[in-house]
C-alpha cells in the first residue's frame, strides 16, 4: 500500500502541474503531496481507501481544489482506481 501511495503522489503532482496551466497560475516550488492508502473492513469485506492531501502554497483554496479535482481526472493512478477505491481529495 505504501508503494501505491508513493507512486500515486508522484503521478498526482505531475497531473496538478498540468492542471495549473489551465488556471493560469504558477505551480508553487514548495507544493506538497501526502497520499495515504489504507486497508479498511466494510460490509462487503476488505477494501482500499485513499487520501490525496495536497498543499499548494500561494494558490487560493478554491483554485487549489479545482486543480486537485482536475488532476484526479487525468492522473493515470486516479483513472486506474476510479470506481474501485474510495478516494478523499483534500487541499490543506
Q: List pLDDT tens digits, range 44-56.
A: 899 999 999 999 9
Given a cut of 50, the residues of the chain with pLDDT beneath it are: none
Q: What share of the chain is helix, strand, coil (3-state, %, to 5)?
A: 45, 30, 25
Q: List all residues 6 or more positions away from 21 whose beta carbon is below 8 Å from its beta carbon.
A: none
Cα gap 49→41, rounded to integer Å: 10
φ, ψ dihedrals at 44, nearest 5°: -100, 20
**Does pTM top 0.85 for this prediction?**
yes
Check residue 22 and give its pLDDT: 75
Amino acid at each position: 500500500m505504501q508503494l501505491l501511495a508513493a507512486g500515486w503522489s508522484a503521478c498526482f503532482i505531475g497531473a496538478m502541474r498540468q492542471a495549473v496551466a489551465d488556471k493560469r497560475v504558477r505551480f508553487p516550488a514548495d507544493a506538497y503531496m501526502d497520499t495515504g492508502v489504507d486497508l479498511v473492513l466494510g460490509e462487503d469485506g476488505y477494501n482500499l481507501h485513499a487520501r490525496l492531501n495536497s498543499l499548494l502554497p500561494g494558490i487560493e483554496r478554491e483554485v487549489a481544489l479545482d486543480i486537485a479535482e482536475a488532476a484526479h481526472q487525468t492522473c493515470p493512478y486516479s483513472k486506474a482506481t476510479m470506481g474501485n477505491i474510495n478516494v478523499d481529495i483534500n487541499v490543506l
